[in-house]
Chain A
Amino acid sequence: MAAIAGQQQTDLREPKGWRRTSNRIVTWLMVLAFVVVLIPLGFVLVTTVAKGISIISWQFLTADIPPNVVPANIGGMGPAIVGTIEITALATIMAVPLGILGAIYLNEYGGKNWLAALIGFFSDVMTGVPSIIMGLFIFAIWVLHFGFSGFAGALALGCLMLPIVIRSTYEMLRLVPNALREGSYALGATKARVTMTVVLPAAIGGIVSGAMLAVARAVGETAPLLFTILTVTTVNKNVFSGPNTSLPSQIFANANSPFVGAQARGWGAALTLIVIAFVLMIVARFITARFSRFSR
């Protein structure tokens, strides 16, 4: 220690006391919170895989939905998978472009004017509207006049996605540094050009992520579909007319059934849905990476 006479070695360790204690407590609390968050996630995943994996087969993914009394090895979820993909795709086509354009208006054009403030406010309110209300809303304004259809379900899901897309895109656009906009303006670009060629490309990664989150949210929604598409047992290729079905609706219906076969098909449908959402997330990551290859 005191190699040089009279000179004490400087103590650079963290001093004991409340500061070190509190640091450790908070660090462990964060680890604990992380574990607590993971527990339900892990249980959901493990249970679904355990109960659903045995039923998954090509036949399950393609065959028509049998009556509930039929045992698990007959029939499948084909119509629900087709319906989910159709309805979600249609909802995405309606909600994502509209939401992105809305966010562009809010951030690039609206500024602080009353219309932008109003739209921003109501889009935030819409985020908080329970999904079943969206279903009832579409039931009242569409289904009562034109009947049940996949399109009605897509409208309800679109209403649900719209505020999510607007909010996430808006936040991403706000992150684009003003210096980039000015750089473009200084070259004589119009506002539309600046938005299309500089602002959107700079924010595209985040915008795609946000849109994909909205899609993932919509893909698993049951409530808005209850009053808009009903359920069917065969594939309805026409998304614009006639009742349709979807994985979440089918999970809901089968879970209410007392029959073992129906319940097993429900678990299989749940697993399929999780896989679809998972694949969407991975695709979103790839798209984000591809689009943001020029960022630092």
Chain B
Amino acid sequence: MEQSEQDVATSTQLPKPQVQATASPDTFDTGTHIFDVDKVSCYYSSFRAVTDVSLKIHENEITAFIGPSGCGKTTVLRTLNRMNDLIPGAHVEGDIRYRGASLYAKEVSPIAVRRRIGMVFQKPNPFPKSIYDNVAYGPRINGERNKAKLNEIVERSLRGAALWDEVKDRLKASGLGLSGGQAQRLCIARTLAVEPDVVLMDEPCSALDPIATGAIEDLMKEIKSRYTIVIVTHNMQQATRVSDRTAFYSVLRNEESDTRTGVLVEYGRTQQIFEDPHDPRTQAYVTGRMG
């Protein structure tokens, strides 16, 4: 283990392991684990936002996090690429392994982590630059200066995000001039441009109309053969439409001390979570009786 932690800290290019043969749909815990989350609790200063979450995220699958507001879905998602480091006072207990390497080991650089584990945010956040520069931003900060290569990356990423045909004639126009759905696809293209291993999506469609949502969902299904996707969503239909596995989180209230914290209630294949939930809280949520 010492060895693999060292790898994350020092090497910039972690080799992607071979994709294993597709697991049979009946076996739950097969395939390569991208993330192995082990008894993780997240704190904002002294407030414990999430308690004791353990789950495994599988390669080349879409994993959905669902649950009511304030249950810690986004917090867990943001611990997966150390985005929560940016919030003063936020810290994590427990262990998260990414391809066997502990993400929160002392010598791990959050920069190196985020280069492999990209993120798309709830609100589209294109930079105040041209469309081209938005997509080329990631490759450029990673040292790519070759014009032809950048052009190729930009085109490939925009095609990958199903945006190329709409913007190919105005690559020099501002990224802020795009509609909400286009801007979100631009942000996805920007994330794909650095060729991440994992794409984390924090409610990527909550600000979009159904058509733009559909486009992004199609896109997710299309790219999951090359990427592992974890998505937080408030929309249960979306989870059933796109995800292979679903984790249901809920809020646990402690009446005595009047505190609340997020917990992972149930994690399983999406079909099982929605059609045959084992936990009564999951059942209440997915049937719309709660939350």
A294 pairs with B174, CB closer than 8 A: yes
A295 pairs with B88, CB closer than 8 A: no
Closest to A194 in B: B141
Q: In the assembled complex, which residues on chain B have CB atoms less than 8 Å from the CB atom of A20?
A: none
A186 pairs with B127, CB closer than 8 A: no
Q: In the assembled complex, which residues on chain B have CB atoms less than 8 Å from the CB atom of A185?
A: 83, 86, 114
Expressed in whole angstroms, the Cα–Cα distance for A111 and B121 within the complex equals: 24
B34, CB-defined interface residue at 8 Å: no
A187 pairs with B125, CB closer than 8 A: no
Interface string of B96-139 (1 = CB under 8 A from A): 00000000000000011011101101010111111000000110
Interface string of A93-134 (1 = CB under 8 A from B): 000000000000000000110000000000000000000000
Chain B nearest Cβ from A264, distance in angstroms: 50
- Taking a contact as CB atoms closer than 8 A, the residue among A182, A197, A293, A294 that contacts B137 in the complex is A197
A190 pairs with B127, CB closer than 8 A: no
- Taking a contact as CB atoms closer than 8 A, the residue among A190, A197, A296 that contacts B177 in the complex is A296
Q: In the assembled complex, which residues on chain B have CB atoms less than 8 Å from the CB atom of A294?
A: 128-130, 174-176
Chain A nearest Cβ from B111, distance in angstroms: 5
B83 pairs with A186, CB closer than 8 A: yes
A164, CB-defined interface residue at 8 Å: no
B81, CB-defined interface residue at 8 Å: yes
Q: In the assembled complex, which residues on chain A have CB atoms less than 8 Å from the CB atom of B174?
A: 293-296
Chain B nearest Cβ from A195, distance in angstroms: 12
B115 pairs with A188, CB closer than 8 A: yes
Looking at B20-28, B52-60, B186-194, the stretch in contact with chain A turns out to be B186-194
Closest to B115 in A: A188
Q: In the assembled complex, which residues on chain B have CB atoms less than 8 Å from the CB atom of A292?
A: 128
- Taking a contact as CB atoms closer than 8 A, the residue among A111, A112, A179, A293 that contacts B125 in the complex is A179
Chain B nearest Cβ from A4, distance in angstroms: 41
A276, CB-defined interface residue at 8 Å: no
A184 pairs with B112, CB closer than 8 A: no
Chain A nearest Cβ from B131, distance in angstroms: 10
A183, CB-defined interface residue at 8 Å: yes
Expressed in whole angstroms, the Cα–Cα distance for A294 and B175 within the complex equals: 7
Q: In the assembled complex, which residues on chain B have CB atoms less than 8 Å from the CB atom of A184?
A: 127, 137, 141
- Taking a contact as CB atoms closer than 8 A, the residue among A112, A179, A189, A202 that contacts B123 in the complex is A179
B88 pairs with A188, CB closer than 8 A: no
Interface string of A167-199 (1 = CB under 8 A from B): 000000000010111111111111001000110
Expressed in whole angstroms, the Cα–Cα distance for A183 and B130 within the complex equals: 15
Chain A nearest Cβ from B180, distance in angstroms: 13
Q: In the assembled complex, which residues on chain A have CB atoms less than 8 Å from the CB atom of B130?
A: 294
- Taking a contact as CB atoms closer than 8 A, the residue among A180, A188, A293, A296 that contacts B127 in the complex is A180
Q: In the assembled complex, which residues on chain B have CB atoms less than 8 Å from the CB atom of A188?
A: 111-112, 114-116, 138, 141-142, 194
B128 pairs with A187, CB closer than 8 A: no
Q: In the assembled complex, which residues on chain B have CB atoms less than 8 Å from the CB atom of A202?
A: 127-128
Q: In the assembled complex, which residues on chain A have CB atoms less than 8 Å from the CB atom of B190?
A: 183, 187
Given A188-B115, A294-B174, residue A112 in contact with residue B88 (CB < 8 A): yes
Q: In the assembled complex, which residues on chain A have CB atoms less than 8 Å from the CB atom of B125?
A: 177, 179-180, 182-183
- Taking a contact as CB atoms closer than 8 A, the residue among A186, A197, A201 that contacts B191 in the complex is A186
Chain A nearest Cβ from B275, distance in angstroms: 34
B121 pairs with A183, CB closer than 8 A: yes
In this complex, which of B115, B127, B129, B177 has the most chain A Cβ atoms within 10 angstroms of its Cβ?
A: B127
Expressed in whole angstroms, the Cα–Cα distance for A296 and B187 within the complex equals: 17
Closest to A193 in B: B141
A111 pairs with B127, CB closer than 8 A: no
A187 pairs with B176, CB closer than 8 A: no
Closest to A292 in B: B128
Expressed in whole angstroms, the Cα–Cα distance for A188 and B140 within the complex equals: 11
Chain B nearest Cβ from A124, distance in angstroms: 23
Chain B nearest Cβ from A77, distance in angstroms: 43
Expressed in whole angstroms, the Cα–Cα distance for A198 and B129 within the complex equals: 9
B141 pairs with A186, CB closer than 8 A: no
B177 pairs with A187, CB closer than 8 A: no
Q: In the assembled complex, which residues on chain A have CB atoms less than 8 Å from the CB atom of B88?
A: 111-112
Interface string of A272-296 (1 = CB under 8 A from B): 0000000000000000000011111
Chain A nearest Cβ from B79, distance in angstroms: 13
Q: In the assembled complex, which residues on chain A have CB atoms less than 8 Å from the CB atom of B115?
A: 187-188
Closest to A188 in B: B115
Expressed in whole angstroms, the Cα–Cα distance for A183 and B191 within the complex equals: 9
Which A residues have a C-beta under 8 Å from some C-beta of B? 111-112, 177, 179-190, 193, 197-198, 201-202, 292-296
Supply 11 A–B pairs (Cβ within 8 Å), ascending by A.
A179-B125, A182-B83, A185-B114, A186-B118, A187-B114, A187-B137, A190-B111, A202-B127, A202-B128, A295-B128, A296-B177
A-B residue pairs, 10 tightest by C-beta? A188-B115, A186-B119, A179-B125, A187-B138, A294-B174, A188-B114, A183-B125, A294-B128, A296-B176, A295-B128
Which B residues have a C-beta under 8 Å from some C-beta of A? 81, 83, 86, 88, 111-112, 114-116, 118-119, 121, 123, 125-130, 137-138, 141-142, 174-177, 187, 190-191, 194
